[in-house]
């Protein structure tokens, strides 16, 4: 009796604070200083992107040739480019563009990839073989090349970059989901769901998908970093955003012509890309460690 009485408070404490995978992970994430730093970077970037039209001191597109190529100063924190545009304002507006490409591209890739992965892993057989073969073909182009090939076919421009980034991200999601489904499918809760008469779509969306949500979240965060880097690379090569869009990669490409005269033109957009990619990577690594300590690389 005494033992039970001793245990009662402990049980009460446990009940008052429900512990789920997500709340545990959240606690672990907050303890990870690198991940918190990454998260703060991401939040600051999102705020900068949302408020750019309000806080940017100058118009990002309007030219003012009298103040061309000025070095950084109290008026122009990051200096001006050859058309006299304030680089700080352009970098702020660029945050909105890059985050939009990163988020939308990853969203498109994740949606299609997850769907294909679910179907592939769930049905197996010929469907699985066909889908995964197509993914193999997409993965046969190393790194950026698939995105370059797509943009070469459908033409440059922001919308097309988003499509290219989406297709480029898709195979990773398909593979990840298929792999997780294959192991989740064997478990007893699936048999139970089947026995009570759940249909295929319900089995996939209600029972299998929640089981693979954690790795999907980790991959998506990391893929946003890749997507932003890819989009900036395409724009740098002249295959993405076109002038006068204040896209970071395109700004850098402009800046290389004045590297000797005004190195700041190329410096700041590059730093912005670096900070953004760093933020998402740190956050993604932190999420992975928090959600599944076994996955640690």
Partner 1 sequence: MFQYILRRLIGLAPTLFGVTVLIFLLLKVVPGDPARMVAGPDATLEDIALIRAELGLDRPLWVQYVSWIGDLLRGDLGTSTRTYNPVSYEVGLRIPATLELTAISIVIAVIVGLAAGVIAAIRRNSWIDYTSMVVALLGICTPSFWLGLMLMLVFAVWLGWFPTSGRGSWEHLILPGITLGVGAAAIIARVTRSSMLEVLNQDYIRTASAKGLSERATILGHAMKNALIPVVTIIGLQFGYLLAGAVITESVFAYPGMGRLLVESIGFRDFPVVQAILLIFALQFALINLAIDILYAYLDPRISYESRR
Report yes or no: 91 and 247 within 8 Å, Cβ to Cβ.
no
What is d(CA 276, CA 278) in angstroms, rounded to the nearest whole number? 5
Q: Does 41 bind partner 1 (CB under 8 A)?
A: no
Q: Does 39 bind partner 1 (CB under 8 A)?
A: no
Question: Using the rule CB under 8 A, which residue among 3, 4, 195, 297 binds partner 1?
Answer: 297
Greatest CA span in the chain, whole angstroms? Answer: 88
| SS3 assignment, position 80 | strand
The full DSSP string for 89-130 is HHHHHHHHHHHHHHHHHHHHHHHHHHHHHHHHHHH-HHHHHH
What is d(CA 149, CA 141) in angstroms, rounded to the nearest whole number? 9
Q: Does 164 bind partner 1 (CB under 8 A)?
A: no
Q: Does 154 bind partner 1 (CB under 8 A)?
A: yes
Tell the smallest beta-carbon distance from residue 32 to partner 1 (Å).
14
What is d(CA 121, CA 124) in angstroms, rounded to the nearest whole number? 5
Question: Using the rule CB under 8 A, which residue among 150, 184, 220, 291 binds partner 1?
Answer: 150
Q: Does 137 bind partner 1 (CB under 8 A)?
A: yes
Tell the smallest beta-carbon distance from residue 197 to partner 1 (Å).
35
What is d(CA 272, CA 95) in angstroms, rounded to the nearest whole number? 8
Question: Using the rule CB under 8 A, which residue among 36, 103, 237, 244 binds partner 1?
Answer: 237
Q: Does 155 bind partner 1 (CB under 8 A)?
A: yes
Enumerate residues 6+ apart whose C-beta is below 8 A from 115.
none
Tell the smallest beta-carbon distance from residue 224 to partner 1 (Å).
13
Q: Does 295 bind partner 1 (CB under 8 A)?
A: no
Question: Using the rule CB under 8 A, which residue among 29, 77, 124, 141 binds partner 1?
Answer: 141
β-bridge partners, 86: 80
The full DSSP string for 138-160 is HHTS-TTHHHHHHHHHH-SSHHH
Question: Using the rule CB under 8 A, which residue among 255, 284, 287, 288 binds partner 1?
Answer: 255
> What does the per-residue mask of binding to partner 1 show for 274-293, with x meaning CB under 8 A?
x--xx--xx-----------
Residues 202-231 that bind partner 1 (CB under 8 A): 225, 229
Q: Does 140 bind partner 1 (CB under 8 A)?
A: yes
Q: Does 294 bind partner 1 (CB under 8 A)?
A: no
Question: Using the rule CB under 8 A, which residue among 95, 104, 218, 252 binds partner 1?
Answer: 252
Q: Does 25 bind partner 1 (CB under 8 A)?
A: no
What is d(CA 54, CA 242) in angstroms, rounded to the nearest whole number? 24
**Tokens 């990619």 appear where?**
277
122/236 with CB nearer partner 1:
236
Report yes or no: 171 and 133 within 8 Å, Cβ to Cβ.
no
Q: What is the DSSP letter of 86?
A: B
What is d(CA 213, CA 136) in angstroms, rounded to the nearest whole number? 23
Q: Which residues bind partner 1 (CB under 8 A)?
A: 133-134, 136-138, 140-145, 148-155, 225, 229, 232-233, 236-239, 249, 252-253, 255-256, 259-260, 263, 266-267, 269-271, 273-274, 277-278, 281-282, 297
């Amino acid at each position: 009796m005494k033992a039970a009485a001793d245990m009662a408070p402990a049980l009460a404490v446990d009940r008052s604070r429900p512990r789920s995978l997500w709340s545990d992970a959240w606690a672990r994430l907050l303890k990870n200083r690198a991940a918190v730093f990454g998260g703060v970077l991401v939040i600051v970037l999102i705020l900068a992107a949302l408020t750019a039209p309000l806080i940017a001191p100058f118009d990002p597109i309007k030219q003012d040739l009298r103040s061309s190529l000025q070095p950084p100063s109290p008026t122009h924190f990051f200096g001006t480019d050859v058309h006299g545009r304030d680089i700080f304002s352009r970098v702020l507006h660029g945050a909105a563009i890059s985050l939009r490409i990163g988020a939308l591209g990853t969203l498109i890739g994740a949606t299609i990839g997850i769907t294909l992965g679910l179907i592939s892993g769930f049905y197996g057989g010929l469907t699985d073989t066909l889908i995964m073969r197509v993914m193999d073909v997409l993965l046969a182009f190393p790194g950026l090349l698939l995105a370059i090939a797509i943009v070469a076919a459908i033409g440059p421009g922001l919308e097309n970059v988003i499509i290219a980034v989406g297709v480029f991200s898709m195979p990773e999601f398909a593979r990840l989901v298929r792999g997780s489904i294959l192991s989740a499918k064997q478990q007893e809760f699936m048999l139970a769901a089947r026995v009570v008469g759940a249909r295929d779509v319900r089995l996939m969306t209600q029972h299998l998908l929640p089981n693979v949500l954690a790795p999907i979240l980790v991959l998506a965060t990391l893929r946003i970093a890749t997507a932003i880097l890819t989009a900036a690379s395409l724009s740098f090569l002249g295959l993405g955003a076109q002038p006068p869009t204040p896209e970071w990669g395109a700004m850098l490409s402009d800046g290389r012509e004045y590297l000797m005269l005004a190195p700041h033109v190329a410096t700041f957009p590059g730093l912005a890309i670096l900070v953004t990619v760093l933020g998402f990577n740190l956050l993604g690594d932190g999420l992975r460690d928090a959600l599944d300590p076994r996955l640690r690389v």
